[in-house]
């Protein structure tokens, strides 16, 4: 069930480097809003069967994946924590209550779930209404 936090930026034949300006406007605004001091080191566009996806690596070590419209699909850091501004409020509340000393290192979302990985290795899956459906 957990497909989360797989390494991003896996190079494939249909993946090509792009400039930050070529990212969808929604993705650029997201990066500027939540990571204002970070710089884009690498950005790629991958053409898939159902559209394009974009992957970004910031100079802070944060890796991101965006859908064709620029909405984030996955956010990941190996050091420290993701900014709380990218973590849904309901998820923040749950983590503060049950894992108060832990930080979010990875978020992955699809149409039905949001998967969260904490810095202690705990993985939590929330449904679209932010109810916990699995803890691993």
Is 1's pLDDT higher than 50?
Answer: no
CA separation for the pair 80, 131 (Å, rounded)? 25
Mean pLDDT rounded to a whole number for the chain: 91
Q: Which long-range contacts (CB under 8 A, 24 or more apart) does 113-120 make?
A: 114/88, 115/2, 115/3, 115/4, 115/5, 116/87, 116/91, 117/4, 117/5, 119/81
Upper half-sphere CA count for residue 75 (Cβ side, 13 Å)? 25
Could you count the other beta carbons within 10 Å of the beta carbon of residue 22? Answer: 13
Give the whole-number percent of the chain exceeding pLDDT 70. 90
Per-residue pLDDT band at 51 (split at 50, 70, 90): confident
pLDDT band at 13 (very low <50, low <70, confident <90, very high): low
Mean pLDDT of 17-42: 97
Residue-wise burial string across 43-63, b where 16 or more C-beta atoms lie within 10 A, e elsewhere: bbbbeeeeeebbbbbbeeebb
pLDDT score of 9 more than 70? no
Residue 98's contacts (CB-CB under 8 Å, 6 or more residues apart) are: none
pTM score over 0.85: yes
- Least trusted range by pLDDT, from 10-24, 38-52, 77-91, 105-119: 10-24
Determine the Cα–Cα distance for residues 83 and 76; give it in Å rounded to an integer: 11
CB atoms within 10 A of CB 26: 14
């Amino acid at each position: 069930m957990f497909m989360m936090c797989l390494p991003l930026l896996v190079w494939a034949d249909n993946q090509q480097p792009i400039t930050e300006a070529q990212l969808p406007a929604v993705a650029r605004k997201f990066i500027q809003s939540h990571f204002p001091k970070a710089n884009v080191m690498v950005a790629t566009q991958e053409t898939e069967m159902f559209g394009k996806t974009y992957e970004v690596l910031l100079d802070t070590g944060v890796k991101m994946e965006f859908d064709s419209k620029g909405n984030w699909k996955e956010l990941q850091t190996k050091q420290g924590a993701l900014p709380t501004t990218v973590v849904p409020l309901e998820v923040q509340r749950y983590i503060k209550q049950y894992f108060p000393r832990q930080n979010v290192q990875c978020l992955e979302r699809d149409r039905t779930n949001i998967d969260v990985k904490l810095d202690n290795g705990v993985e939590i899956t929330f449904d679209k209404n932010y109810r916990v459906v699995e803890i691993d």
